[in-house]
Chains A and B, each alone.
Chain A
Amino acid sequence: MAQFVCRYRKRGELRWISHLDLKRTLERAMRRAQLPLALSQGHNPHPKLSFGPPLPLGVTSDAELVAIHLSEAMDADQLRDRLNGQLPPGLQVLEAWSLPAYRRKETFGNIELAGYLVTLSENMQRDDLQRRVDQLLASSELVVQRGGERPERTVNLRPLIHGIEVDDGEASGVGLRMSLRTGSHGGARPQEVVALLGLDAQTDVIRYHRTELSALPTAASKPGLAQRGKWRRQRRKGSESST
């Protein structure tokens, strides 16, 4: 048994495929690539994959993570290249590395923050945007409704918003950098924050992009991969090749 982690990119119109669609797509690509997949036992054997926090629908990313179990060892770069040869346009493994046995239990459990870059339309005013952000961050409670057709429930998003910065780095105008909680303890979607800022999702937003996944930077988080610097390093490499 060998375990590998791939950091991959999802971009373009593939932002409209769901996490389940993505899982199937990757499984099929792995089979086409004839990787020596380790299969689960039971009536319906399937490849053993574990994923980082699912990407919200409509969001592109350079920071997605999947762990793959193989029945035999192989070179990580070769794994990346073979998989890339079989991925549909819009999906690309940016890097792959093997996971030493002593880290396997942790996988992605310590990831609790997701960074997003929200590109806004050119007519957004920087000052107005900053005012909205300041006001939002000053609130102690931001209650929103969730759940489409099912009975709706309310969630307080404020503790799930780790930080928001106005970003002028975008060529077309201003953007927002958001750091939002994700993972098993609940999370916020960038679209929800955009709505809380009073922006119009149809006219003001050009795209949503996930830039990084990381552990909480405080001592309160569980010790894990991020503390060993792994994810941070990935992020720096990845941001150079953003779409």
Chain B
Amino acid sequence: MQISEFEALLPRVTKPARYIDGEWNAVHKDWDSARVRVALVYPDVYEVGMSHLGLHILYHVLNSHPDYLAERAFAPWTDMEAELRRAGTPLVSLESRTPLREFDIIGITLPYELTYTNVLNLLDLAGVPLRAADRTDDHPLVIGGGPGAVNPEPMAAFFDAVLVGEGEEAVLEIAEAAALGRRQAALKRLAEIPGVYVPSLYAYSPTGPGPVGVVAPVDAAPAAVERRYVADLDSALFPVKQLVPFLDTVHSRVTLEIMRGCARGCRFCQAGAVYRPRRERKLETLLRQAEEAVAATGYDEVSLLSFTSVDHSRIEELVSGLIERLGKQGVGVALPSLRADTFSVAIANRIQQVRKTGLTFAPEAGTDRLRSVIGKRMAEEELFAAADAAFSSGWSRLKLYFMIGLPTETEEEVEGIADLVHRLVAFGRGALGARRGRLQISVSVTAFVPKPHTPFQWMGQEEVETLARKQRLLQAGLRERAVKLSWTDPQVSALEAAISRGDRRVGEAIERAWQLGARFDSWGEHFDFARWQQAFAEADVDLRDYANQALPFGSPLAWDHIACGVETATLRGEAERALETREV
């Protein structure tokens, strides 16, 4: 009996199930009869990557096509990485255990900035040269996509092409371009596909410190890359036969995408800015897809995915319809993104008749003025009315999201968060009466991160020390039995900001950080800010130029060649209005 090289490593690692496939709905196509083979790679562990709907969509779009084959791979955890390097075994796909470098395309999601060292590590483990310039006809095309693609510059050197925007239609055109075989011909064809950015056809001329400069074509390529989006979401492919992992993933449930895009226009929100316009799936479509997906997966929960699900025009009928059709099988509905209002609570209340659900609101800021600055239209009375409805419907726990370090924020406004929470606690105790002891308000505080293509792209993030001081202010102000406070490390937020607003020079720092051993930076136990500072210093890049500097209006920015649908003048107008907001 022969044990394969890779299989022999499984007994030596934690959670070996991360590296096997055979999950329900996994697809195994014949390698030799596929014209184009795509490895879909997610730069985090299996449990995180399998919760990403985009991966399921692309897997099914590609595998539904007779000529194409798609298999999956995820970032191996550090113990598996050590085993792979020790054994000299290349990273393989889950389905056929084929080395990634034998695929025609390695497609890598860029979910968010702190996964970028994992991207480099994956390429290295696959035995593919990190830099696109060093690849030959013998190597796969390395193509990026996903949320991070709206500013591809920090990763420009490592990708042959990046798809900006939504992938379900473009992925087939990209696969067909790869069928051309020869690298130069394929790159030329890729650059002609709307939404596809081929970084090697562009040069960057920085004109100042930080991400200030011009990225312009040096070869036949469009001056601006227009973000792709699906015009008709209702008829777009929705994978009802979703893969059903053995492992407990971040979201072990049917993900039903009811709507894409958001019309609310919060000024800090990148997703809201780049996934326009707001598009809905029809009620009938959703009810049918939910039933089919439950039947095809056996999940006991359907989670409604969108930025603000209660904004769907038929949300009440949708929730009632789902409960009516699925409730008796014990299948629950989850609504992860709620508005803070009584309407949302009423809908959540209907949902919890099948399965208990948590309530989360995102006031984002502590005062009405600051909420007005960031474009969050939520008056404090609405939050209290929502809380009142929640407490009287039986909830005793609420979760609240806030940001600190928002543009124009004063220390009083940070204290405003504590003040708001205290008043909510007092209100909750009164409303709950005899059940007051069960009151729990979870407060989650992150730091504001300026994001490209938003009105706040020009705003500098506050220094790490300032953010830390504001955090301590909150910690001191929220010593209260009923309050559970959690926050993100300001150093993590600083790195996120620097990469988010990064240019090609930041890419050098990312590569250096990877060489110094950075991996899984979004995992607290692996994040090492000192290593990143060293990497930035050795790459001769100042992190603060990217994270903390306010960028001048009117200067060209490193991501201006990526057109996400909102004019720069519009963003600037929004930014100026925000800065002028004195009171509500």
Please name the residue on chain B nearest to A26 by beta carbon. Answer: B298
A58 at the interface (CB under 8 A from B): yes
List of A residues within 8 angstroms of B244 by Cβ:
25, 28
A57 engages B16 (CB within 8 Å)? yes
List of A residues within 8 angstroms of B3 by Cβ:
206
User: A43 to B301, alpha carbons, bound, how many Å?
Assistant: 13
List of A residues within 8 angstroms of B356 by Cβ:
43-44
Query: SS class of chain A's interface: helix, strand, loop or mixed?
Result: mixed
B252 at the interface (CB under 8 A from A): yes
Please name the residue on chain A nearest to B247 by beta carbon. Answer: A21
List of B residues within 8 angstroms of A201 by Cβ:
11
B420 at the interface (CB under 8 A from A): no
Please name the residue on chain B nearest to A30 by beta carbon. Answer: B298
Docked complex: B251-298 residues within 8 A CB-CB of A: 252, 294-298
A32 engages B11 (CB within 8 Å)? no
User: Which of B20-28, B50-58, B160-168, B570-578 is the contact stretch?
Assistant: B20-28
List of B residues within 8 angstroms of A20 by Cβ:
248
User: A46 to B332, alpha carbons, bound, how many Å?
Assistant: 11
User: A37 to B328, alpha carbons, bound, how many Å?
Assistant: 11
User: Which of A85-93, A156-164, A211-219, A231-239 is the contact stretch?
Assistant: A85-93
Give the interface size class of chain A: 35 or more
Bitwise interface map of B from 309 to 339 toward A, beta carbon under 8 Å scored 1, else 0: 0000000000000000000011010000000
* Contacts A16-B17, A21-B246 given; does A27 touch B298 at CB 8 Å: yes
B8 at the interface (CB under 8 A from A): yes
User: A117 to B12, alpha carbons, bound, how many Å?
Assistant: 21
B246 engages A25 (CB within 8 Å)? yes
From residue B5, how far is it (CB to closest CB) to chain A in Å?
A: 13
List of A residues within 8 angstroms of B296 by Cβ:
32
Q: Give the contacting residue for B17; candidates A21, A172, A207; CB below 8 A.
A: A21
Docked complex: A40-88 residues within 8 A CB-CB of B: 43-47, 57-58, 86, 88
From residue A231, how far is it (CB to closest CB) to chain B in Å?
A: 27
B1 at the interface (CB under 8 A from A): yes
Most A CB contacts (10 A, CB to CB) among B11, B248, B294 go to: B11
A17 engages B1 (CB within 8 Å)? no
B1 engages A206 (CB within 8 Å)? yes
A123 at the interface (CB under 8 A from B): no
A202 at the interface (CB under 8 A from B): yes
B10 at the interface (CB under 8 A from A): yes
Please name the residue on chain B nearest to A21 by beta carbon. Answer: B246
A14 engages B22 (CB within 8 Å)? yes
A24 engages B246 (CB within 8 Å)? yes
Most A CB contacts (10 A, CB to CB) among B23, B252, B297, B330 go to: B330
List of B residues within 8 angstroms of A12 by Cβ:
22
List of A residues within 8 angstroms of B330 by Cβ:
37, 39, 45-47
List of B residues within 8 angstroms of A17 by Cβ:
17, 20, 246-247
B527 at the interface (CB under 8 A from A): no
List of A residues within 8 angstroms of B1 by Cβ:
119, 172, 206-207
List of B residues within 8 angstroms of A207 by Cβ:
1
From residue A143, how far is it (CB to closest CB) to chain B in Å?
A: 23
User: A43 to B354, alpha carbons, bound, how many Å?
Assistant: 8
B355 at the interface (CB under 8 A from A): yes
B489 at the interface (CB under 8 A from A): no
From residue A64, how far is it (CB to closest CB) to chain B in Å?
A: 15
A13 at the interface (CB under 8 A from B): yes
List of B residues within 8 angstroms of A30 by Cβ:
298
Please name the residue on chain B nearest to A172 by beta carbon. Answer: B1
B299 at the interface (CB under 8 A from A): yes
Please name the residue on chain A nearest to B23 by beta carbon. Answer: A88
A125 at the interface (CB under 8 A from B): no
B102 at the interface (CB under 8 A from A): no
* Contacts A21-B246, A57-B16 given; does A28 touch B297 at CB 8 Å: yes
B300 at the interface (CB under 8 A from A): yes
Q: Give the contacting residue for A45; candidates B17, B22, B355; CB below 8 A.
A: B355
User: A194 to B338, alpha carbons, bound, how many Å?
Assistant: 54
Bitwise interface map of A from 1 to 41 toward B, beta carbon under 8 Å scored 1, else 0: 00000000000111011101110110111111010010100
User: A172 to B3, alpha carbons, bound, how many Å?
Assistant: 14
User: A17 to B19, alpha carbons, bound, how many Å?
Assistant: 10
User: A239 to B24, alpha carbons, bound, how many Å?
Assistant: 27
Most A CB contacts (10 A, CB to CB) among B1, B246, B248 go to: B246
Please name the residue on chain B nearest to A149 by beta carbon. Answer: B14
List of A residues within 8 angstroms of B24 by Cβ:
25, 28-29, 32, 86, 88
* Contacts A39-B330, A44-B355 given; does A28 touch B17 at CB 8 Å: no
B22 engages A16 (CB within 8 Å)? no
A88 engages B22 (CB within 8 Å)? yes
User: A30 to B299, alpha carbons, bound, how many Å?
Assistant: 10
User: A32 to B329, alpha carbons, bound, how many Å?
Assistant: 11
User: A21 to B329, alpha carbons, bound, how many Å?
Assistant: 21
A43 engages B355 (CB within 8 Å)? yes
User: A201 to B1, alpha carbons, bound, how many Å?
Assistant: 15
Docked complex: B449-467 residues within 8 A CB-CB of A: none
List of B residues within 8 angstroms of A89 by Cβ:
22
A31 engages B248 (CB within 8 Å)? no
List of A residues within 8 angstroms of B332 by Cβ:
44
A86 engages B23 (CB within 8 Å)? no
From residue B453, how far is it (CB to closest CB) to chain A in Å?
A: 39
List of B residues within 8 angstroms of A44 by Cβ:
332, 355-356
User: A180 to B248, alpha carbons, bound, how many Å?
Assistant: 30
From residue A83, how far is it (CB to closest CB) to chain B in Å?
A: 11
Please name the residue on chain B nearest to A32 by beta carbon. Answer: B298
* Contacts A18-B17, A58-B11 given; does A31 touch B329 at CB 8 Å: yes
Q: List 7 A-B contacts (CB under 8 A).
A: A14-B246, A16-B10, A21-B17, A24-B246, A24-B252, A29-B298, A32-B298
Residue ranges of B at the interface with A (Cβ–Cβ < 8 Å): 1, 3, 7-8, 10-12, 16-17, 19-20, 22-24, 244, 246-248, 252, 294-300, 329-330, 332, 355-356
Sort A-B residue pairs by CB-CB distance and give the 9 closest, nearest first: A28-B298, A31-B298, A43-B356, A32-B298, A16-B16, A13-B20, A21-B246, A17-B246, A45-B330
Residue ranges of A at the interface with B (Cβ–Cβ < 8 Å): 12-14, 16-18, 20-22, 24-25, 27-32, 34, 37, 39, 43-47, 57-58, 86, 88-90, 119, 172, 201-202, 206-207
Beyond A25-B244, A31-B294, 20 additional pairs, beta carbon < 8 A: A16-B17, A17-B247, A20-B248, A21-B247, A21-B248, A24-B252, A27-B298, A27-B300, A29-B24, A29-B298, A32-B24, A34-B295, A43-B355, A43-B356, A45-B355, A47-B330, A58-B10, A90-B22, A202-B8, A207-B1
